[in-house]
Structure 1
């Protein structure tokens, strides 16, 4: 007996029959092997009513459905909008059709007064989502301009398509490096699909605001304090991507997110200020030391150049004198020639040599005295030598010479 293969598209709920007499599928392609053919289509009939084994082949869509045409990513609504006509009851045996007919007749009979109730004005920045007896009338929102509605049957939801702005309340966030900071932000968003914003979520604006608060805390909890202070723009882009992905099924587009303020504890602010000041002082000292080193190298090279040329030294001397004389001070400068200074230098060096020789001689004399002190006085000569020594003649001074010497002294 030939086998029957079954495939179902999970996005549209279309029925596909490959070789069998009858095959049906429920919405979403859900299959149950224990149900009848009216429920799942797993049982096929061939002639005498024999049952055949079925090998289902489910085709999962490789790409996410497009959101621009009103698809919903909610699993319970994974299908086209407007498919309510194929599901559920058929309007309670024509009651809906009868009510619509009566509404049209009432509008015609009460003309022109009924126009004030049947016509709605939709602004350029608004769109109208119309529900008739609780069901969506059209997948495409109506407006701008005049929109015809049936009184007592149609319910109109007006959606504003302009950009909304709100401030995220200040959030106490614990960063990745365990620092508590207070952060607030600004979020800009708009509704790009009015039907999805009404069908898929109760209040798109309130839901977006609450989601922004939780997303801010979650994103900032994955970064440290340094990244939070230096990479605000990247964190804002990351938060925008997270919000945009989460609100896409609501028909909301997050256009921009800005981190407005980051407040740190006072103790942490003082510590960071002290650290920054110390870093600046260290950098200034390093720069000053490098400048002094370069200046010393240049000064050394200039001194070597001036030392090789005496004329350059004299010019430098005169330049220094002129710079000093320009200043208003009471200092008197006596310019001296370089040659005279060199003579003084030579003389000073000679005096240093003589003083050094004197110091050497005094040092030798002191050494002799020390030797005398250690060895004691020399022994007296023997008596025989004293007796043989001739007597010393006494010098005779005339009285006239003595008088002249006394006059000289006086």
Structure 2
């Protein structure tokens, strides 16, 4: 897309706690206005909830991600929990645990995410992606979000955790309702209930693994020790919940955004198909362009001076990846979708000590999708109006109707 027009919504008039804001305003135009006029902005509280700081510059966001001395994740890391003042999973779930305990649990889980251990999972990702894309091409017109993108990452997580194939569709539906609701008609109560369903389901799986361990991640957690002590059931359930939440949401959002971008920018699609740009380089640009997770956040542990402001101890900061990835001070022509872009220091997987554990798998998903599309699809065009998720966290689609023209020389 071209650079945003000069006229944009006044950042001081926007409510970033309301998912509708992100449907009503063009994200790139909106965030450029923050970066230029309010790079460190105090968002007032409302409805009895506290205010919070909004960071929109790449430099400030990366610095905050790195700084685990002055900021903590242990009182929440997304607006939903940050505004409540606490996170019940703090100190137990990796994403909201800091310090030595975070390093110990992360090192344990990293053993299950090494390329060597993941090879059979990766092979399944490639085979499953090819099968789904082939079926989509045979149908011609499909909802790429629900019929393709939704189907791949949850099966990967299912393979990792040993979730029975028959249960995976239900897990996808629960997950979609947790942080990224389909529309404003889906209530917060429904989100909480869906979260509880996932937790209860994992607890049942855990009981089975404790009785009969296998070779999946859940079994690894069930039989592992940290500092000579086994993980509690609650810790294991929360790590598993985090895997489902992060792995499913991000990868499916990126896949759907990719086909939309190829439809919008056919010259880039042709360069990818012809081999003019490497798939690995293209994958990084798609991750930047998509930014599937719009923000994360922290609480300040002490007063922090920043660009003429003072973030007070106990106050909330939010780091907006969706702004950082289009910062003109870091990315040349950031509003140009350029599959050959290099370097590409996007923060779509976060940064610092909490850098996404599943980044390798996320890239595997994207590369498998690009490989399948390039070999089997000649052209991509929209077949209807895409429908965005109702969320201020997940940047994805609940519907993406596309028409896929078959590649005549497809293998």
After TM superposition, is the score higher than 0.5? no
- The two structures have a TM-score, normalised by structure 1, of 0.25
Question: Which is richer in strand?
Answer: 1
Question: Which is richer in helix?
Answer: 2
Larger radius of gyration: 1
